[in-house]
Structure 1
């Protein structure tokens, strides 16, 4: 869903020549306390596993920073500071799916961004 939304945003911005790019970023397994409110035993196992196998928070932030700061980096899905492999790339080839997911998200949340034909009114 993240990748589909990112692609839809890129299409909306690109359609109006806006110099905005969106990225889908996977930080990997990062050793944080995000699981602290899980079931105590499950949380302990996840925290131990992430500490042994995971990245530090700084390492986990590297891909996000890379996408935000690297000049001329093409939009897309990134993991470990490189274009990532997607499990179902055929789903991304369906622009109708992107629009349907976008519309469902708007319907569910009640929040919308301007449609592509109205983005030209935004400051560039």
Structure 2
């Protein structure tokens, strides 16, 4: 599955303490990469680091604090990372929140759009100087099948005019997909070797029941495990997007099974008409304005 040598490669994975992010970190560390677990809760991050080290004592794992729902934390992480390291081979924008009750980030953004899109937009822009310095570096942006039928509510990005959790989740995942394509277009326009590739995990049985405090019944979990993907399978599209040498940038990687819900990774075609140039341009401009992060190509 991993088609390139990763020894000596430095990789950031946001939200790497559980689920797909954790499985991605474990697999890439197994192949010799130095993996930075960028996590909101450092204690949980250290627990995940120890779990990886227990299986692979030689793994190079670092835990760093990052709260994508707080732009000050995003800037602090980028500064700390840039002061500590001089290269970045792969940035995997994995972290996300899904269908919470209406909440806002510290900066006043609707929580899903603010965390899933704007936090990663800012992080990527702040780390772009290191990515540009590192030959053939990559950015992987995690989207979702929830982008299908979704829209960007430019007149209601903060949800103040009405909020439906699933619609706003779809908006954030559509934003991830549009950001990935627009970033790759701009990197190519400026002759930069960094590639950006989008991916999605299908539907992972490990994530669906973590949104509520009360856990799902055992029989329902068992059914989900049959119908949907475990986290180690859900991680495969991300791993493929991060490491497959034949990718040129701008692709969308997802599972090859029915409805792209499960299976092995393949290059997937997004929903028809998704890559609308005016929407992509407007989203980019709004994102720069809201985050205050201007990309230096």
Query: What TM-score comes out, normalization by structure 1 length?
Result: 0.74
Q: Deviations over 1:41-77 (max 9, x none)?
A: xx516x7254332212111111111111111213221
Higher relative contact order (CA 8 A, sep 6+): 1
1:15 is matched with 189
**Counterpart selection for 1:58 from 232, 238, 241:** 232
Unaligned ranges ≥5, structure 1: 120-124
Q: How far apart, CA to CA, are the structure 1 residues paired with 2:285 and 2:195?
A: 20
Unaligned ranges ≥5, structure 2: 1-174, 256-264
2:251 is matched with 76
The CA RMSD over aligned residues, in Å, is 2.2
Q: Is the 8 A contact 1:3 1:76 kept in 2?
A: no
Q: Deviations over 1:10-48 (max 9, x none)?
A: 1111112111111111101113256334152xx516x72
**1:98 Cα deviation (Å)?**
0.9
More helix by share: 1
The answer to whether 1:85 aligns with 2:269 is: yes
The 3-state SS of whatever aligns with 2:252 is strand
Query: What TM-score comes out, normalization by structure 2 length?
Result: 0.34
2:216 is matched with 44
**1:109 Cα deviation (Å)?**
2.8
More strand by share: 2
Q: Is the 8 A contact 1:26 1:63 kept in 2?
A: yes
The number of residue pairs the alignment matches comes to: 110
